[in-house]
Structure 1
Amino acid sequence: MSFLNASAMTGGYGAADILHSCDITVEQGQIAVIVGPNGAGKSTAMKAVFGMLPLREGSVTLDGQDITGLTPQERVAMGMGFVPQTNNVFVSMTVQENLEMGAYLRRDDFRSTMEQVFDLFPILREKRRQPAGELSGGQRQQVAVGRALMTEPKLLMLDEPTAGVSPIVMDELFDRIIEVARTGIAILMVEQNARQALNIADRGYVLVQGRNAYTDTGEALLANPEVRRTFLGG
Structure 2
Amino acid sequence: MAEPFLIGESMTGGYGAADILHGCTLAVEKGQIAVIVGPNGAGKSTAMKAVFGMLRLRAGHVKLEGEDITALTPQARVAKGMAFVPQTHNIFTSMTVEENLEMGAFLRRDDIRGTMEQVYELFPILKDKRRQAAGELSGGQRQQVAVGRALMTQPKVLMLDEPTAGVSPIVMDELFDRIIEVARTGISILMVEQNARQALMIADKGYVLVQGANRFTDTGPALMADPEVRRSFLGG
TM-score in terms of structure 2 length: 0.99
Structure 2 counterpart SS, 1:28 = coil
Instruction: State the alpha-carbon separation in 2 of the partners of residues 68 and 151 from structure 1.
Output: 21
Tell me the residue number matched to 1:85.
87
2:151 corresponds to: 149
Aligned to 2:122: 120
CA-to-aligned-CA distance 1:19-52 (integer Å, 9 cap, x gap)? 0000011000100000000000000000000000
Shift of 1:5: 1.2
Q: Which residue of 2 aligns with 1:173?
A: 175
Equivalent residue of 2:235, what SS? coil
Aligned residue type for 1:232: L
Q: Which residue of 2 aligns with 1:164?
A: 166
Cα drift, residue 225 of structure 1: 0.2
Structure 1 CA distance for aligned equivalents of residues 8 and 52 of structure 2: 10
Structure 1 Cα separation of the partners of residues 8 and 172 of structure 2: 28
Aligned to 1:106: 108
Amino acid at match of 2:4: S
The unaligned stretches of length 5 or more in structure 2 are none
Counterpart for residue 186 of structure 1: 188
> Which sections of structure 1, spanning at least 5 residues, go unmatched?
none
- Alpha-carbon RMSD across the aligned residues, in angstroms, is 0.3
User: In the alignment, does 2:230 pair up with 1:228?
Assistant: yes
Q: Which amino acid aligns with 2:168?
A: S
Provide, for residues 82-121 of structure 1, a one-character-per-residue CA deviation record: whole Å limited to 9, x for no partner. 0000000000000000000000000000100000000000
Q: Tell me by how many angstroms 1:155 deviates.
A: 0.2
Alignment match, 1:71:
73
**Residue equivalent to 1:139:** 141
Letter in 2 for 1:135: L
> What amino acid sits opposite 1:139 in the alignment?
Q
CA distance in 2, matches of 1:9, 1:102: 29
Residue 34 of structure 2: aligned partner? 32
Q: Which runs of 4+ in 1 moved over 3 A?
A: none
Q: Tell me, what secondary structure is at the counterpart of 2:47?
A: helix
Give the length in aligned residue pairs. 234
Q: Is 1:129 the counterpart of 2:136 in the alignment?
A: no
Q: 2:198 aligns with which of 196, 199, 207?
A: 196
Identity among equivalent positions (%) equals 81
Aligned to 1:44: 46
Q: 2:16 matched to 1:10?
A: no
CA distance in 2, matches of 1:96, 1:23: 37
Tell me by how many angstroms 1:64 deviates. Answer: 1.1
Residues 118-164 of structure 1 deviation map (CA, whole Å, 9 limit, x = unaligned): 00000000000000000000000000000000000000000000000
Amino acid at match of 1:30: Q
- In the alignment, the residues of structure 2 paired with residue 111 and residue 64 of structure 1 have an alpha-carbon distance, to the nearest angstrom, of 31
